[in-house]
Every structure is written in structure tokens, then in C-alpha cells.
Amino acid sequence: MSDTPTEVEMDPDVLVKTVDLKKHFPLTGGVFRKVIGRVHAVDGVSLEIKRGETLGVVGESGCGKTTLGRTILRLLDPTSGQIFFDGRDITYLSRKELQPIRRQMGIVFQDPMASLDPRVTIKKSVGEPLVVHGIARGPKMRAMVLDLLQKVGLNEDHLNRFPHEFSGGQRQRICIARALALRPRFIVMDEPTSSTDVSVQAQTLNLMKDLQDEFHLTYMFISHNLSVVKHMSDRVAVMYLGKIVELTPHDIFRTTLHPYTFALVSAVPVPDPRFAGRAQILKGEVPSPINPPSGCRFHPRCVFADERCRTEEPQLKDVGDGHLVACHYAGELDFGRSAQMEYAQAVGEA
Amino acid sequence: MSELVETGFEERVISVEEFRKAPVRFLRAIMVLLSMAGLVFGGTLVLGYLVMSVMGVLGVVAEMPAYVSGYVLHGLFVLFLAYVMLRIGDLLVIGDTQAFSWTLYANVLYILVFLLVPELTVYVIPPCVLALLVLFLPGVRRLWWAEFKEDMKPRLKEMRYSLYLVGKSPLVVAGIAIIVGFTLVALFAADIAPYGPEQRIWEDSYQAPNPKHIWGTDDVGGDIFSRIVWGAQVDLRISVQIVVVALVLGTLIGAASGYYGGKLDELVMRITDVFFAFPGLILAMAIVMALGERSLDNISIALMVTWWPSYARLVRGQVLSEREKLYVEAARSVGASDSRILLFHIVPNTIQPLIVQATMDIGGVLLTAAGLSYIGFGPKAGVAEWGLMISRGQDYLLICPWISLYPGLAILLTALAFNLVGDGIRDIMDPKLRRR
Amino acid sequence: MKLRDFIIRRILLAIPVVFGVLTITWFLSYIVGDPVVMYITERTPDSAIPGIKKAHGLDQPLPVQYFMYISNLLRGDWGMSMSSARDMPVLEVIADKFPATIELAMVSMVFAVMLGIPLGIVSATRKDKPVDHFTRVFSLAGVSMPIFWFGLMLKYVLYFQLYRAGLPHFPSGDRLNGRVFDYEKDYRVTGFVLFDAIVYHQNLELFADGLMHLVLPGFCLGYLTLAIITRMMRSSMLEVLREDYITLAKSKGLSERVVIYKHALRNAMIPTVTVIGLAFGGLMSGAVLTETIYNWPGLGRWAVRAILNSDIAAINGFTLLVALIFVTANLIVDLVYGVLDPRIRFG
Ligand SMILES: Nc1ncnc2c1ncn2[C@@H]1O[C@H](COP(=O)(O)OP(=O)(O)OP(=O)(O)O)[C@@H](O)[C@H]1O
Ligand code: SF4
Ligand SMILES: [Mg+2]
């Protein structure tokens, strides 16, 4: 166990940093349950999240967003690569050494019902982090939990209820309260609004923004809803088959340099007849993360793919203004710029 | 420099210093003393049992005393309680308000456990009561009572809702009534039965049911009614005892197997596979044979050995599936330790199917034990045990059917009651149906 | 997992179980006393014992004895049983008595399946109606019934009371009316009375008599299985009826009947089939008790007699046989389940 923090040259503005992070799940099969393959859920992700910002992560289902979030928080042990938190290498810390660091980060899971113990009251669920870290018990814990619940718009009556007595949106807010209990600096929000309807979604998103300002939080915001991500994030990372293909500080609806991002953007339904049939729909299925395609992972579905794309893997390169793209022909491709602009407007109007 | 603690949920605040005041310290002292007593007593029981069994194996003593397995259970339980009390004592003075409610539970359990040991009752119960009194002194009470009350509220609400559901199901109510009835009969057998368990009234042999012997008499003049009443003690006790021991054993093994996984898990699963290869009655038969002597105690041991694998399987499966649940990961994400996750999250979520299974199994075990006794594995002729009574009656079936009829009804009714209750609470506890 | 891999894995997993079973029976026979009693009877002269010990490897160290035990079993030497009329090798007794037990078990199984599946369906489709309540209590009573007492009571009512009232009644025991047919001497071919009567003798009277004798023991033994099948059928049917595709089928306007028989039944049958396989173990336990009550010349009665006579070889053989049957039944059930329901393969 190397707990000597490897001080890489790190921007003091950066709170979380990963270097070539990989997480593979072994796949067993056959008569003796041998390992017959590996799911490349996260396959070489390098990113930085600055203090106080929100990094949005988008991608199709199964591309490894959740796995990335869980690995960064060390809820999963990474297969290789490095994770830095606040300048410290936490990749190989033991559970005990992680304990103080756990206080500084939290996660809100995709499914709020499943992430609350059905037999534990809300007071105890939200108070658990306080008890575990020896911060408060008994009446003091209760007071702190009440304070948290009020912050997310719940009240004293809700303290002694069980999860099944709440609505989906309320449960989500309970989970947010629990993630906040330790006053962390960094929270991974895993599709926090996927299980609620649009109006509740808007409320929850605004609540999260308010909380971010109040507690100076840094968010990693995972979603496959591009509009929501755009609304929430300072920068957006686009994932495809375990890799980041584009990371942009700009509006992804307007300036996109990667064909995959463009495809995603154009797949967003727009209530405008002018665009009927014009959206560039993604062709074919997502390839299996067990045997990802050679070269550029997107090449089987990319209309611009050529021989180079099939053999040589594009690196994530800065094309200016901190806009990173992993495509051999970044900036050289013509998706029909004007179409894109019109489209972005239509989305904006919608 | 005292930390402030809010309490009572009004704007009242108490300093941690209050937890160090005399009454709380006194409470702690009582807990430590009680804990010592428990350690000594429980240790004696368990050690004594170990020594006895070693001597038994070496042939120093010919026979194990009856109900030995009951002693060990009792001893282990007391040891466990004593340990818990010791820990509570420590928690009391660091300002952990939860420790007070645990003090309450622990003392009540202690009183119950030691009521079973008449020789020690007088020494142990007064300090327990004293502790409870201190707990409710106004100065101490104000430290924990409001919180306790609030924590109990949701539990009571759930319990009331469960009771409401139970009340709506006549079959479950009937089952519970039968079980309670038989338990009372067993407890007060001496007051209910007009005759002794092995009393023979020769001149009354072969009598059909009549006012003097309401359910008739058998071939040697034993009163059937009285013998069934006395038999309730024997049959209920061994059924419950077998299930409890198998449950504890199976749960420990299954939980370890599911939690640690790997080689241990593989081994445990293969062993249970082997046990599952035998139908229950037949494996039990073979084990009683191997144990040599035919007796109720050996039937108990055989059935405990036969039954634990099903609990091990159940618990393992449950632990495996709970372990993967998101709420476990959520607890881990805030830094909860493995043991905390196991104790506070996985175990409570595992217990319900286990209770259902155990309840139904009491019926099954009763049937098997009575069956073994019927074939001739049970106690010696003359003992009031239902299975044996049926086998006694079969030779006179055509002339005196009542000798077999009533004990069989008793078995059927008891087993049915446990099955009704198990079946009913499974539906009641089913979260799919429970959601309001 | 591929189906082929699943089948191979499941069969491989059965091997350690069989070894475990052998180890347990060996261990038990060893605990009871000197294992040489398996191979001798009261009539064996003392002077012959050392020779017998040597022949069966009982003078060897324990591990060697263990392998000798297995190899003896494999060679068909299961020891001598002394609880039949004359001393016989265990395997011969088993061959002799096995058909009677199997015939009884099959009849009870057929009875249980024919009655249990419709009962379960009716109960599920009329949930919480009087029929359902009745069926639930009926099947719970089956699970709670002490078989040995049930057998006695059936005998008392359906044989003795009917007989005393001068009504037609069921026979109280045995496989055939001994005064009319001597099965062992005149009719036995395969050992299955019904089968022999039809196939080899074309004797309807013999068949009818055999069937009559099967009614009470068959019902007594089959009630538990009936109860289990009914419960399983009811609950899996309820589960299936709750599924979305059933609701969908109903909303598309398919009639209740078509929904139940075409869509739900097929899926609800899968768990029930497996229970039927597993119930075989219960039947073997039950046979021990039923055969004793109805004087049925099968393995169960022989086993009880063996126990009362401390006939170690017989008990050992019986336990082993039942376990092997049960292991095979479990294996078949699992394989069938794996073929029918692909989800199980990923367990
Ligand atoms: N514990 C696991 N064991 C094996 N494979 C896993 C495990 N967790 C995730 N995977 C696989 O890793 C890949 C990425 O999963 P992940 O949950 O990270 O996707 P996601 O982007 O969050 O998808 P979604 O939008 O549906 O939540 C998937 O192919 C998934 O099947
Ligand atoms: S590298 Fe080639 S295949 Fe990959 S996105 Fe760019 S153009 Fe398409
Ligand atoms: Mg996800």
C-alpha cells in the first residue's frame, strides 16, 4: 500500500483528476466458470474536474458512466490508472485510509428507491454518515438531519417515515440530503432525475444548483439527457464505450467536433417539422464492450470512417480553449454546419 | 469546554457533562456487575456442557443429561447478553443516547432469561429492576426518553399495520389461536390434565370416551386426554428446540458462506448438497441408528443435523442478494464498515423470510419427529408423546380407534397452525403487497 | 452460459454429491459398530468371521476400508440382509422389493398430479373466492398431515366402517387378495402388478384387484405431494397472471380462457414440474410410513423392519439407494429446468 501521496504536477484548481483510469469486469462462463472475457466498462479515462464546477457526463446506456463515477469514488477498485483527489493519489488507499476522504465525497445513485434501506427510517438513513464518522448521535444527529431535510425541502414530519412512504422525487431529495450530510466537497450525481417527471425534474435540478452555491460543491453530473446536462454543466464529457470522445467547455448543441456527439445531438427529438427526417440517426447497434472495435471505437457507426480510423486509435487532443476531441479529423469534418445551427436554435426554442 | 447536545426537541440543550453525572455512572456500574454475573453463569453452562461431552466421548459418564442442547443455547445466549451489557456500559458515559434504550432492552431480556433459573433469580433480578428504576429517574429520563419515544413511533405504526393485516386474515388468526392454546396447555399441563402423564388405571383400560375419561383410555388404562396434554410439553418443546438450533447453526454458516464467498462458500454448498441428497426422515433415521440409543434427545440431534442445511442455503442466498443491493453500496459510500453493513442492513433484511421458513418448519419438524417416534425411534413405551401414542393405538385400531385418533388430531392441528401462520405472514410481509 | 456448458457443469456437480453420500453412509455404518456385521448373519459361525473380514478388507487401515467399501458397492456386494424371511444379499432384496414401492409411488404421483394441477389453477383463477379458501386449507392440511395417522384413519373409515356396514369397501393392506391370487408364485414377471396383469396375463380381475389395493395407500402417500403441487401451481399461476404480458393479452380482448390456458399455464407449469421431481424424495420418506401401515411388501416396510432388527446392511443399502434415486431425480429436474427456463443457467 503506497499511501505516500504521489505529488504529480497538479493544478491547484483541480479537485478530482484521473489518469488513464480503467475498470474491467471479468466475465465468467463455461463448465468451470473460468474468466472468458472482460467487460471494458471504463477503458482509459483521463479527466480533470475543477473546484466548484459541474462536469456533465453523457453517453448512451451502458457506455460506462456509472462505473466511472463509482470508480472515482473508490466504490469499485480500478483495474489500472490513477485517481487523485485534492492533490492526493487515492488509487491504492486501503479502506481505513479512505475513511477520512469518504467524508469529502458523496454519491447520489440512479435509483433512489433501491439506494435507501427499506427497513430504516429516513432519520437513520440520512443520519448514518454522521454516526459512522462519529460526528453526531442521538438528539444532535436528529437536529442535523432535520436541518438537511429542510434544506432539500422536506420537514420534521418526514423524519420517522420509511422510504416506501415517499414519492420518487422526495426519495431523490432524501438521497441528496444523505450525500450532503458530511458536508462533502465533491458529489457524483448519477442520473439524479431519470426516475421523475419533468416538473419534479426541474425542481430537483434547481435545488441542486442552489445547494452547489450554498456549499461550494463540485459536481460530476451523469445523465443521458443532453438538455439537462447542458443546463447543469460548465463542461461536458461525452463517453462512448468506456472512453471519453469529446470534452467541451462550449455548448454541445452548437459547437461539436466529434461525429458521435453530433449524432447524439441530432437524435434529440425536436418539436419542429423542418427537422423531421433530417436528424442524423445513429446507425447500427452499440458494439459490445467485451470486444471493443479496433482503432477508433466509433468507426463501425461513423459515416466518416476510413482505413486510418479502423487501425489507429485517435487520442484526446486539445483543439483550443480546452476543448478536447478524440477524432483523427476533428475540425476537418463537415456535418452541415448550418443545419447544426438551425437545429440548435430549434432545440433552444423548444 | 462542553459540547452541547440538543434534546427533547424543544430548544433545550444538555451538555455532555450531564452524561458523566452520578446516576449515569451508577447505572454503568450496575451494568458491569450484571455483565460479570452473566459471563460467569453463561460460561459455566457452556464449559460444563463441553466437559460433559468430552467425558461422554471418553466414556467417563455413561449418558448425557437430558436437554443438554437446551443448556448450551441458554448459556450462549446469556454470554451474548453479558457481552452486550458490558459494551452498553461503556457507551453510556460517552453521551450515546441510544445506549439508554439498549439498557432497557438488555435488562428486560436479562430478567426473562434468569426467570428460567430459579436458583439465581433472587440475585439477578433486583439489580436489573434497580437499573430500570434509575433509567426512569427524571434526571436520567430526560436524556433519552424523547428520542426513544420518537424511534418507537414508526415501529409501532408498522406493527399496528401488520396486526391489522393479520386481523384481516381469519386463517392466520385461527393459527395463532391454536398455537397460543397449545402453548398454554403445555405450560399449565399439571393444572389441566386430570391424570399424570404415565399414570395407569388398569381397571379403566379400553374405555371409550366417557365423562370420567373424556377422550377414552388406552390398553393399559392411560387417560388419552391427560396424555395428550402432557405430550404437548414434549412435542412442542422438541419441535421448537430443533428448529431454533438448526436456525442458529444454519444462519451462522450460511451468513459466513454468503458474506465471505470463495472457497468457504463452495465447500459449504457442496456439503449442503450432500445433505439435500437424503430425504429428511430417512437421513434422520440413519443418524438415530448411528447414535445408538433410541430416545427423544437423539431424535432432536438427528433432526437438527438434518435441518440446518436448508437455513444455511436460505440465509446464504439472501445475503448474496442483499449484498448486491444499491442501499448497501450507498452505506459503503458514506464509509460504513463491513460489520455495520452486515448487522444493520443485511441481517434485518434477511430475517423475515427466515422467520416465515422457521415457522412453517416447526410444523414439518413436528411431523417428522412424531413419525420417527411412531416407527419406534422415540422414547420408551409409556412416555406421553403423540407419535408414540398413535403407534400404541394402531394395534387396537378396530376396537378402540380413539387411542390413535386424538393424538393424531393434536399433531395435525399443531402442524396446521404453524403452517397457517407461516403462510399468512409470508403474504403479510411481502413488500409487493405491503406498499400502501 | 451455454446450454451444453450448463448440462456438463450440473452433471459434474453431482459427482461430489454422490461421493458425499457414500462417505456419509460409510461413516454411519462405521459408527454403529463393527462394520463386519454388514456381511454376516446370526447363522454365520464365529470361525468364519476373520475370513469375511479379510475378504471385505475390514482388517485394513481406514482409508483403504473406505475404498474397499466403495468398490464392494460397485461390484454389487451390498452386504447381507437378515430381516427378510431368509438371509439374502441386500441387492437381491432391493431388486425384489423395489417394484412394489415404485408402483405405489407412481400411482400416488399420478393421482397427485391429476388432481393437484387443476386444483391449483382453479384456486388461482378464483383467488379469494370460497373455492380458493377451501383449496388452501385442503392443501395446508396435506402439508400438516401426519401420514402414519392419516393411513390408519383411512383404513378405519374406508375399510373397517364400510366393511362393518356391509358395504363395498377397500382392502386394508397387501398388494392383492391373497386368497385369490398368489402373485409371487403365479403371476410375477416384472414385479409391477398392474403392468403384469395387462401385458403378460391379460387378466382384468387381477388388474382390478391390484388397483383396488392401491387406492388407500396411494391416496395416503399421495396427499402430501398433492398438497405441494396444488400450492406450487397456485402460487406460480398467480405470479404469472400478474405479469404484464398477461394483462396485455387480456386488454387485447382475448378471452379469459384463452389467456389462462394458452399463455399463463405454460409458464406456470415450469416451477411445478420441478416440484414434482423434488417431491420424489418426500414420496420415499412417506413410503416408509405408508408401507408399514398397509403391509405393503416394498422397500419401506423392509427398511423399518431392518431398523427394528438392527440390520445394518439393509439400512445402509436402503439409505444409499434412496439417496442415489433422489440425487438422480434432482439432477433431471435441474436439467429440465435449465432447458425450459434459460434464466436459471446464469445462477
Ligand atoms: N458489477 C458489474 N459486473 C459486470 N459488468 C458490469 C458491472 N457493472 C457494470 N457492468 C457493465 O459495464 C458496462 C457499463 O455499465 P454502466 O452501469 O457504467 O453504464 P451506464 O453508462 O451507467 O449506463 P446507464 O445509462 O444505463 O446507467 C455495461 O456493459 C455493464 O453491463
Ligand atoms: S476517428 Fe474516424 S471513425 Fe472515429 S470519429 Fe473520427 S472520423 Fe469517425
Ligand atoms: Mg448508470
Domain encompassing residue C258: 88-346
Average pLDDT over residues C73-83: 81
Asked if B260 and B346 touch (Cβ cutoff 8 Å), the reply is: no
Neighbour-count burial for B12-38, b at 16+ CB within 10 Å, e otherwise: eebeeebbeeebbeebbebbeebbebb
pLDDT score, position B11: 39
Residues near ion ligand 3 (CB < 5 Å) are A 66
Average pLDDT over residues C296-304: 90
Q: Do B330 and A142 touch (CB under 8 A)?
A: no
Look over chain A and give the mean of its residue pLDDT values, rounded to a whole number: 85
Strand partners, C89: C80
**Position of cell 481406514?**
C62
Report strand pairing: A317-318 vs A186-190: unpaired
Partner-chain residue, chosen from B278, B289, B415, that has the shortest CB–CB distance to C307: B289
Q: Is the pLDDT of residue B10 over 60?
A: no
Rounded to the nearest whole angstrom, what is the distance from the C-alpha of residue A64 to the centroid of ligand 1?
5
Q: Is the pLDDT of residue A348 over 80?
A: no
pLDDT bucket at A65, cuts 50 / 70 / 90? very high
pLDDT in tens, B391-422: 888 888 888 888 889 999 999 999 999 999 99
Portion of chain A with pLDDT greater than 70, in percent: 88
Task: Determine the Cα–Cα distance for residues B64 and B72; give it in Å rounded to an integer.
Answer: 13
Q: Do C1 and A32 touch (CB under 8 A)?
A: no
Residue scoring higher pLDDT (A155 or C264): A155
Whether residue C289 lies within 8 A of chain B, CB to CB, comes out as yes
Span of B83-87, B316-320, B378-382 with lowest mean pLDDT:
B378-382
Longest dimension (CA), chain B: 89
Closest residue, chain C, to A28 (C-alpha): C1
Q: Do A30 and C5 touch (CB under 8 A)?
A: yes
Count residue pairs from A and C with Cβ separation < 8 A: 11
Rounded to the nearest whole angstrom, what is the distance from the C-alpha of residue A41 to the centroid of ligand 2?
20
A165 vs chain B: nearest CA distance in angstroms?
Answer: 8
Asked if A175 and A146 touch (Cβ cutoff 8 Å), the reply is: no
- Indicate which atom in ligand 2 lies nearest the CA of residue A310: 3
Q: Is the pLDDT of residue B369 over 90?
A: yes
Q: Is the pLDDT of residue A108 over 60?
A: yes
C14 vs chain A: nearest CA distance in angstroms?
Answer: 13
pLDDT score, position A72: 95
Question: ipTM of this model?
Answer: 0.87
Asked if A12 and A20 touch (Cβ cutoff 8 Å), the reply is: no
pLDDT score, position B59: 61
Average pLDDT over residues A272-284: 57
pLDDT score, position A343: 61
pLDDT bucket at B4, cuts 50 / 70 / 90? very low
- Which range, A291-305, B150-164, B171-185, B261-275, has the best average confidence (pLDDT)? B171-185
Q: Do A132 and B97 touch (CB under 8 A)?
A: no
pLDDT bucket at B9, cuts 50 / 70 / 90? very low
Is residue C46 one of the residues assigned to a domain? no
Residues in contact with ligand 1 by the CB-under-6-Å rule are: A 25, 39, 41, 59, 61-67, 110, 224, 289
Q: Do B9 and A114 touch (CB under 8 A)?
A: no
Is residue C41 one of the residues assigned to a domain? no
Q: Is the pLDDT of residue C194 over 90?
A: no
Neighbour-count burial for B408-426, b at 16+ CB within 10 Å, e otherwise: bbbbbbbbbbbbbbbbbbb
**Angstrom distances, CA of residue A340 to CA of A230, A272, A279, A346, C39:** 16, 14, 10, 10, 92
If phi over 0 gives left and psi between -120 and 50 gives alpha, with beta otherwise, what is residue B67? left
Task: Determine the Cα–Cα distance for residues B386 and B369; give it in Å rounded to an integer.
Answer: 10
Rounded to the nearest whole angstrom, what is the distance from the C-alpha of residue B100 to the centroid of ligand 1?
45
Is residue C9 one of the residues assigned to a domain? no
Q: Give chain B positions within 8 Å (CB) of C130.
A: none
Portion of chain B with pLDDT greater than 90, in percent: 18
A245 lines ligand 2 (CB under 6 A): no
Among protein residues, the one with the nearest Cα to ligand 2's atom 6 is A327
Torsion of CA C38, C40, C42, C45, to 10 degrees: -160
pLDDT in tens, A320-330: 888 999 999 88
Q: Is the pLDDT of residue A337 over 90?
A: no
Whether residue A56 lies within 8 A of chain B, CB to CB, comes out as no
pLDDT score, position C188: 82
Q: Is the pLDDT of residue C59 over 70?
A: yes
Q: Give chain C positions within 8 Å (CB) of B285.
A: 288, 303, 307, 315, 319
pLDDT score, position A57: 95
Q: Is the pLDDT of residue C342 over 80?
A: no
pLDDT in tens, B138-169: 878 887 888 888 888 888 888 888 888 888 88
Residue A54 phi, psi (nearest 5): -115, 120
Q: Look at the alpha carbons of C215, C217, C218, C223 in this order and tell me if their dihedral is positive or negative.
A: positive
pLDDT score, position B433: 56
pLDDT score, position B426: 81
Q: Is the pLDDT of residue C224 over 70?
A: yes
pLDDT bucket at B12, cuts 50 / 70 / 90? very low
- Which range, A335-339, B203-207, C341-345, has the best average confidence (pLDDT)? B203-207
pLDDT score, position A344: 62
Out of A24, A38, A39, A224, mutate this one to test ligand 1's pocket (max ligand atoms within 8 Å of CB): namely A39
Q: Do B363 and C143 touch (CB under 8 A)?
A: yes
pLDDT bucket at A81, cuts 50 / 70 / 90? very high
**How many helices (DSSP H) and strands (DSSP E) are in chain C?**
14, 2
Helix (H, G, I), strand (E, B) or coil at A303: coil
pLDDT score, position A350: 52
Say how many domains are in chain C.
1
Average pLDDT over residues A181-191: 92
Q: Give chain C positions within 8 Å (CB) of B289.
A: 28, 32, 307, 310, 312, 315
pLDDT score, position A90: 92
Span of A27-41, A292-306, B2-16, C65-79 with lowest mean pLDDT:
B2-16
Strand partners, A56: A221, A236
pLDDT score, position B359: 92
Q: Do A128 and B334 touch (CB under 8 A)?
A: yes
A266 vs chain B: nearest CA distance in angstroms?
Answer: 34
Task: Determine the Cα–Cα distance for residues B61 and C321; give it in Å rounded to an integer.
Answer: 37
Portion of chain C with pLDDT greater than 90, in percent: 19
Residue scoring higher pLDDT (B340 or B206): B340
CATH of the domain at C252: 1.10.3720.10
Side chain identity, residue C94: I
**How many helices (DSSP H) and strands (DSSP E) are in chain A?**
10, 12
pLDDT score, position C1: 61
Partner-chain residue, chosen from A133, A139, A164, that has the shortest CB–CB distance to B97: A139
C1 vs chain A: nearest CA distance in angstroms?
Answer: 6
B334 burial type by CB count under 10 A (0-12 exposed, 13-18 middle, 19+ buried)? buried
Q: Is the pLDDT of residue B237 over 90?
A: no
Rounded to the nearest whole angstrom, what is the distance from the C-alpha of residue B342 to the centroid of ligand 1?
25
Model pTM score:
0.82
pLDDT bucket at C347, cuts 50 / 70 / 90? very low
- Indicate which atom in ligand 1 lies nearest the CA of residue A65: 21
Kindly list the partner chains of chain B, i.e. chains with 3 or more CB atom pairs below 8 Å: A, C
Residue scoring higher pLDDT (B293 or B134): B134
Q: Is the pLDDT of residue B431 over 60?
A: no
Q: Find which of A142, A176, A191, A195 to mutate to test the B interface (most B CBs within 10 Å of its CB).
A: A142
Q: Is the pLDDT of residue C116 over 70?
A: yes
Average pLDDT over residues B375-404: 86
Q: Do A137 and B98 touch (CB under 8 A)?
A: yes
Kindly list the partner chains of chain C, i.e. chains with 3 or more CB atom pairs below 8 Å: A, B
Average pLDDT over residues B372-382: 85
Task: Determine the Cα–Cα distance for residues C107 and C290; give it in Å rounded to an integer.
Answer: 13
Q: Is the pLDDT of residue A68 over 70?
A: yes
pLDDT in tens, C250-293: 677 667 677 777 777 777 787 787 788 778 778 888 888 899 88
C195 vs chain A: nearest CA distance in angstroms?
Answer: 42
pLDDT bucket at C77, cuts 50 / 70 / 90? confident
pLDDT bucket at B95, cuts 50 / 70 / 90? low
Q: Is the pLDDT of residue B300 over 80?
A: yes
C48 burial type by CB count under 10 A (0-12 exposed, 13-18 middle, 19+ buried)? exposed
C-alpha closest to that of B278 among C275, C8, C329, C271? C329
DSSP H or E segment with residue A35: strand A34-50
Kindly list the partner chains of chain A, i.e. chains with 3 or more CB atom pairs below 8 Å: B, C
pLDDT score, position A274: 57
- Which range, A3-12, B30-39, B413-422, C251-260, has the best average confidence (pLDDT)? B413-422
CATH homologous superfamily of domain B169-434? Answer: MetI-like (1.10.3720.10)
Q: Which ligand is nearest to the CA of A71?
A: 1
Contacts of C75 (CB under 8 A, 6+ apart): none
pLDDT score, position A33: 72
Out of A22, A36, A65, A109, mutate this one to test ligand 1's pocket (max ligand atoms within 8 Å of CB): namely A65
Whether residue B401 lies within 8 A of chain C, CB to CB, comes out as yes
Whether residue A25 lies within 8 A of chain B, CB to CB, comes out as no
Whether residue A102 lies within 8 A of chain B, CB to CB, comes out as yes
pLDDT score, position B57: 62
Average pLDDT over residues A36-59: 92
Q: How many CA atoms within 13 Å lie on the side-chain side of C304?
A: 24
pLDDT score, position A4: 46
Q: Do B327 and A115 touch (CB under 8 A)?
A: yes
pLDDT bucket at B17, cuts 50 / 70 / 90? low
Residue scoring higher pLDDT (B16 or C4): C4
